[in-house]
Structure formats: structure tokens, C-alpha cells
């Protein structure tokens, strides 16, 4: 278990977590920097992009630092004990890859992608790749399948 430490950095809308390279409980070499991790507490979870720090003034060996956005979304006080684990890939990742390769998606695939984006399961770079591929080829059926904010089932 690691204690939450609030790191006062603005990462716009991205959840960012910082782990000390010398952390004994979770070996940073087991996690790739800039990959998603799950931060868990009592059944709740938050997905965040991982950064490894060498400076112990940023985050101690028994801590996980959270950016302002991640700290607010997790909604727990500082020093709360949490666990971390590698995050599974988003369920809609195969659909995103298909779209990048020029395939047409069905309504269920489009909704799944939008739901995963809304749940912060994708990085900004992955969202950008999806949007660029969609901008170059999006059928009328795909456009009509994009759910509104009120239609997204989380």
C-alpha cells in the first residue's frame, strides 16, 4: 500500500501519478513509465498515466503522487492508503485500431470508444489518433452512432 501525496501540478484533464524509482512495495521497473495504472481504494479506482521520479522531494518511497486532476477525481484525503496495478487496456482498443486502419465501426463500437474516452481510459495521444483517423473517414452511420453526453452509459 502507498500513501497518496497531492502534487500541485496542473495536467489539464489527464490523470497523472508519480512513483519513486526506489519504491520497495511496487517495483517501478515492473511498470512502464507513461503507461496507465489503476489506483485502488475500497473497491473504487482511478486510471492514471504513470511517471517515475528520482527526486524524493517530489514523492517518497512509500507514496504515490497524484496531479491535481487525479487527486480531485479520486476524492480521497492525502495519506490515504491505496494500491496500484497495471491498468488493463480499454475494452474498445481493438475498435480504435480498426478505425485507424480505415475500417467502418458499428454503433456499439463507437459507443464503447466514447465511453472509454469519458472514463479517462485513453491518453491524449490515443484520442488524437482516433480523431485523426475519424476525420479522414467517417461514414454517416458512424456519425449518427456517436452518443450524446446523456446517452453515455458508464
**And the C-alpha cell for 113?**
470508444
pLDDT (0 to 100) of residue 25:
82
CATH number of the domain within which 141 lies? 1.20.970.10
Whole-number pLDDT of residue 119:
84
Shared domain for 35 and 82, answered yes or no, is yes
Q: Look up the pTM and report it.
A: 0.75
Beta-bridged to residue 145, according to DSSP, are none
Q: Give the N- to C-terminal CA distance of the chain in Å, as an integer.
A: 28
Do 143 and 80 fall within a single domain?
no
- On whether the CB atoms of residues 33 and 73 are closer than 8 A, the answer is no
pLDDT of residue 153: 60
Report pLDDT for 42.
92
What grid cell was written down for 77?
484525503
Instruction: Find the domain containing 107 and state its range.
Output: 93-151
In a shared domain, residues 69 and 101: no
Judgement on whether residues 39 and 71 belong to the same structural domain of the protein: yes
DSSP string, 29-77: GGS-TTSEEEEEETTEEEEEEEEEE--TTTS-TTEEEE-HHHHHHHT--
Per-residue pLDDT tens, the chain, 154 aa: give them.
999 999 999 998 889 999 999 988 887 767 665 588 999 999 888 999 999 999 999 999 999 999 999 999 999 999 999 999 988 888 899 999 999 998 999 999 999 999 999 888 887 788 888 999 888 788 888 888 888 777 666 5
Domain count, the chain: 2
Amino acid at each position: 500500500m502507498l500513501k497518496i501525496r497531492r502534487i500541485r501540478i496542473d495536467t489539464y484533464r489527464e490523470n497523472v501519478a508519480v512513483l519513486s524509482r526506489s519504491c520497495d512495495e511496487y517495483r517501478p521497473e515492473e511498470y512502464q513509465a507513461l503507461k496507465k495504472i489503476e489506483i485502488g481504494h475500497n473497491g473504487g479506482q482511478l486510471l492514471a498515466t504513470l511517471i517515475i521520479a528520482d527526486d524524493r522531494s517530489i514523492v517518497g518511497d512509500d507514496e504515490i503522487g497524484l496531479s491535481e486532476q487525479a487527486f480531485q477525481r479520486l476524492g480521497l484525503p492525502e495519506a490515504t492508503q491505496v494500491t496500484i496495478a497495471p491498468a488493463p487496456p480499454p475494452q474498445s482498443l481493438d475498435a480504435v485500431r480498426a478505425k485507424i486502419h480505415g475500417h467502418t465501426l458499428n454503433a456499439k463500437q463507437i459507443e464503447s470508444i466514447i465511453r472509454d474516452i469519458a472514463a479517462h481510459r485513453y491518453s491524449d495521444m490515443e484520442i488524437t489518433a482516433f480523431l485523426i483517423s475519424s476525420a479522414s473517414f467517417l461514414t454517416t452511420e458512424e456519425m449518427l452512432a456517436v452518443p450524446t453526453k446523456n446517452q453515455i452509459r458508464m
